[in-house]
Chain A
Amino acid sequence: MTKNEFFQELERYLDDIPYTEYQDIVRDFEEHFHMAYSEGKSDHQVTKELGDPKMVAQSLKPEYTGKMVNIKRTAEIVLSVIGLIIDVITGIFGFLLIYPESNHQIRQRMADAMQAGTSLSSAQINESLDTLGHAGMMLLIASVIGIILAIISIVFLKGNKKPKLGGWLLIIAAVLSFVVSQATFFGAIFLLIGGIIALVRKSKDLEPVAVK
């Protein structure tokens, strides 16, 4: 096994411990490899002496079990993904509302249909179509904001890399998209809950609970 393979394996088995802890563990092993190299040892010799990375990872794990099992951030990520999907749907709605405004043929057809069914003047119909187009534009912008920020948050939450930043981004995504267009309410509520959970659960990963 090479040094890279050793670290890859280690990362695979330690993907759910706090990132700062993981970095510190990697630092220790980097030091170990460096010292061994200076004694003229090869990658293979060093990894053989160190033993199976899986075993190393497993003996590190007990420190992070107990209350630390929630460090996977599964709930937050699931909520973010639901919010994200809803934002995609509302974004499509927004796009459909803008579409008649930019396409004259469709707009004309809609106007004709509305005129046939109601006693509205063509000026009133134009106005309502404009309003609809404007609302659609806001909805599209709000949804795109929600989608982009949610994706970034998920990246930060995955593997518990930067849960605090991810949590705040989700809250910002929720508030911002809701302010721009209230129609994103359903997506925003999922993002908001996900963000709050990410922040509330944060305290636990700073003090891993020892299991004797």
Chain B
Amino acid sequence: MNPQFKKGVLTLCVLNLLQTVDQYGYDLIKQIGSNLPISEGTLYPILRRLKKDGYLTTYLVESEQGPSRKYYKLTKKGDQYARDLKNEWELLVQSVEKIVGKGEERQND
């Protein structure tokens, strides 16, 4: 997959997963990684990027065993961004569907 395209899709997934509930890195990554063919390590840079741009904040929660967990939380700006991206995505899917759908019709003729 084209890296830029992939990054956009992954950003969309991350933000949408966080819209319902705060999550820690591992869980978040597992949910995406189990559905999409990605190198899970590349999601951490995306999370850092989103945090730097102010779409996410993080907080640490102590764990009884092992290192503390870093939770990711959407900011207001991030929530808005998630909606915008989702709208853009749906629009894109519809547009692509029109073209691809027409192609299939032509094949069927």
Q: With A and B bound together, what is the CA distance between A60 and B33 in angstroms?
A: 19
Q: With A and B bound together, what is the CA distance between A50 and B30 in angstroms?
A: 11
Interface residues in A99-130 (C-beta closer than 8 Å to B): none
Question: Which segment of A30-38, A142-150, A180-188, A191-199 sits at the interface?
Answer: A30-38
Chain B interface helix/strand/loop/mixed: helix
Interface residues in B1-22 (C-beta closer than 8 Å to A): 3, 7
B67 nearest in chain A by CB position: A31
A32 touches B69 (CB 8 A): no
Chain B positions within 8 Å of A63 at CB level = 45, 48-49, 52
Whether A35 contacts B26 in the complex (CB less than 8 A), given A49-B33, A51-B40, comes out as yes
Q: With A and B bound together, what is the CA distance between A211 and B66 in angstroms?
A: 35
B45 touches A56 (CB 8 A): yes
B70 touches A28 (CB 8 A): yes
Size of chain A's interface in residues, with CB distance under 8 A? 23
A58 nearest in chain B by CB position: B45
B67 touches A30 (CB 8 A): yes
Give B36 Cβ to nearest chain A Cβ, in Å: 12
A59 within 8 Å of B (CB atoms): yes
A53 touches B25 (CB 8 A): no
Additional 12 contacts, C-beta under 8 A, given A27-B70, A35-B26: A25-B44, A27-B67, A30-B67, A31-B25, A31-B26, A31-B67, A32-B25, A32-B40, A36-B26, A38-B65, A51-B42, A60-B44
